[in-house]
Structure 1
Amino acid sequence: MLGGLEWRQHTPHASRAVVIINAATSVRCCYYTRFAEYLFSHGMDVMLFDYRGIGASRTGSLRGFKASWSDWGSLDFEALLKRAQRQYPGQPIDVVGHSFGGCAAGLAASGAVIRRVVTVGAQFACWRDYAPAQRWQMVTKWHAVMPLLTGLCGYFPGKRLGWLEDTPAGVVKDWVTFGTRFEQLPSARHLGALPFASVKAKTLAISLSDDPFGTVAAIERLLSHFSASSRTHLRISPEDIGVTEIGHFAFFHNRFHDSLWPIALQWLQTGALAIDVPGSIQYPL
């Protein structure tokens, strides 16, 4: 049973979008509450959920608990897509995916029902794509220390370290694999053909220039999996909106209510960017 949160308008309407927000790896869905309320205030129905083993979807010890990135996408996100179709029949389904959450959007068998996608810093932690200035520090932290502690504890005790929520060992195993394609990750090898290409949604990938995970190479590596989608990559620097930093997580902070959130809203509403959108378009495909 997956736990989560939901914002539902009083009366159904066939033209109203229902938006599913996919969290980053081991980030509780409540982190995105204010952004969800923002979308709801602009007339959308919104669904948040925690992946199995995380937050409201955790039922006990993670020692020996079976979960992987592929499970989070092919099982958990798929369950949300099916629930959205049941609860909001006939309404368009859109997705916002943060970090791994953008990858999860391509792992569900029902992905063809998605109308529009907005991703933020979305990638699957290929070490080669980490920002050069921080690469070896990140490799040490995430590809050496994290699996070492996971081996000792049977799961990654991220909450005690202040890094992440506690994380299932199978997710860590996927993260630390030195593969350059998602299908090379341990959990994906058992899935057969991946459903990325079934997603035909208009996709906006937002990346931030000071995000050490979301480099241009990382964003476009993931976008290459969505081969049947029209894809636009918008890269934003802090100075484009008059701030000193944004990084990997802060897009969803309330302080960007008036500067960054309208970009995602506009795409979800229209499938297009405003003429005066901050940042630079890396490419439309």
Structure 2
Amino acid sequence: MQQHTTRCADGGEVGLTLHSKDSNQGPVVLIHPATAVRESMYWPFAAFLITKGFRVITYNYRGVGPSARLPSNQNLTMHGWMTQDVPAVTAWAEQSLPDASLLAIGHSLGGHAIGLGGNSKPLTAAALIASHAGALRLVRGRAERLRIATVFRAIVPTLSRLSGHFPARMLGIGEDIPSAAMREWGRWIVMKDYFFSDPLLDAARQFAEVDIPLLSIGFDDDPWATAPAIDLFNAHFTKATVDRRQIDPAANGNGPIGHMGFFRDRNRETLWPQVADWLIRQANFPTVNIDQEISGPTRILGGQG
């Protein structure tokens, strides 16, 4: 692994990690992380992709983890991550690893990076893992909706007044992130169609400009990225061809998956090859097992575009 930094348009710096074998000149995969998740969660999956011939870039959004406490990071928002951090990492990949196909994986919030800010333009294709429109009305279960509503209506406003960082780690809900990002997220979740209803964002127009192949995967036991929430998100990719798959964890046989579980090592033999082989086909990159048969836990829900 090689550590690097790249500069955003606003002058801030983003740290990133390049995962690669010395002799590897294959396609490059950017992994855009979920909210309040450190890049190290994706390192086992990055190591798996290396065995398939890819080079992989992982990174943290600014203000995630200990850096959330830095005054320079406390006004960062989710939209800012998409329009500052993601373009900076993408530009670094283009400049430092030229002449390679560039692909992406967006996990949850990371899927926003494909639709917003023109970030799909350099890409050959992208896979979306549990990426969804995070409207509260689409969350499964009354108790879970109540829990989320309590966090955003009571805890977030209170703690935001006390500090510029939200102590998610102390609350057991992930890594610390800027309070500004949490407030923006809280504003979006109560909108009918999530940030597609935000007139300040113009998200629907931006999503409609994406014209690359997309793989979109959801999991039946995920209470947040439910099938309706994923389908609402995907519906705005009006020019893209979307390969939509829904996975039953019980049939997968490796235990619960939920919102975060896809990247656990126990899915190395069942779920990970589906994404790797799809990316291989999109990059037209020869390697082993590219025609693995999809069976068992996966339902193909069709495409669009």
**TM-score of the superposed pair, with normalisation by structure 1:** 0.89
For the 8 Å contact 2:117–2:206, the answer to whether it is kept is yes
2:295 is aligned with 1:284: no
| Structure 1 Cα separation of the partners of residues 56 and 208 of structure 2 | 25
Aligned amino acid, residue 224 of structure 1: A
1:28-65 superposed Cα distances (whole Å, 9 cap, x missing partner): 11111100111112110100011111148x27435972
Superposed, 1:111-150 pairs within 5 Å as: 111-133=120-142, 134-150=144-160
2:272 is aligned with 1:254: no
Aligned amino acid, residue 211 of structure 2: K
Residue 114 (structure 1) shift? 1.0
For the 8 Å contact 2:14–2:89, the answer to whether it is kept is no
1:63-91 superposed Cα distances (whole Å, 9 cap, x missing partner): 97221111111111111111111112121
For the 8 Å contact 1:63–1:153, the answer to whether it is kept is no
For the 8 Å contact 1:263–1:273, the answer to whether it is kept is no
Aligned amino acid, residue 15 of structure 2: G
Structure 1 residues 12 and 35, CA, compared in 2 at 3 Å: closer, same or farther? closer
| Structure 2 Cα separation of the partners of residues 72 and 25 of structure 1 | 11
Structure 1 residues 127 and 192, CA, compared in 2 at 3 Å: closer, same or farther? closer
| Structure 2 Cα separation of the partners of residues 96 and 40 of structure 1 | 14
Aligned residue pairs: how many?
280
For the 8 Å contact 1:147–1:176, the answer to whether it is kept is no
1:96-124 superposed Cα distances (whole Å, 9 cap, x missing partner): 11110011222232421211111111124
Q: Aligned match of 1:108 in 117, 121, 124?
A: 117
Residue 170 (structure 1) shift? 1.9
Q: Aligned match of 2:29 in 1, 16, 19?
A: 19
| Structure 1 Cα separation of the partners of residues 267 and 30 of structure 2 | 20
Structure 1 residues 77 and 214, CA, compared in 2 at 3 Å: closer, same or farther? same
| Structure 2 Cα separation of the partners of residues 281 and 125 of structure 1 | 22
Greater displacement, 155-164 / 135-144: 135-144
Greater displacement, 175-184 / 29-38: 175-184
Aligned amino acid, residue 256 of structure 1: N
Aligned amino acid, residue 88 of structure 1: L
| Structure 2 Cα separation of the partners of residues 168 and 284 of structure 1 | 36
| Structure 2 Cα separation of the partners of residues 196 and 78 of structure 1 | 16
Residue 225 (structure 1) shift? 2.5
Aligned amino acid, residue 266 of structure 1: D
Percent identity reads 28
Aligned amino acid, residue 220 of structure 2: S
Structure 1 residues 197 and 147, CA, compared in 2 at 3 Å: closer, same or farther? same
Structure 2 residue runs of 5 or longer lacking an equivalent are 1-12, 283-289
Structure 1 residue runs of 5 or longer lacking an equivalent are none
Structure 1 residues 238 and 227, CA, compared in 2 at 3 Å: closer, same or farther? same
Residue of structure 1 in register with 2:103 after alignment: 94
**TM-score of the superposed pair, with normalisation by structure 2:** 0.83
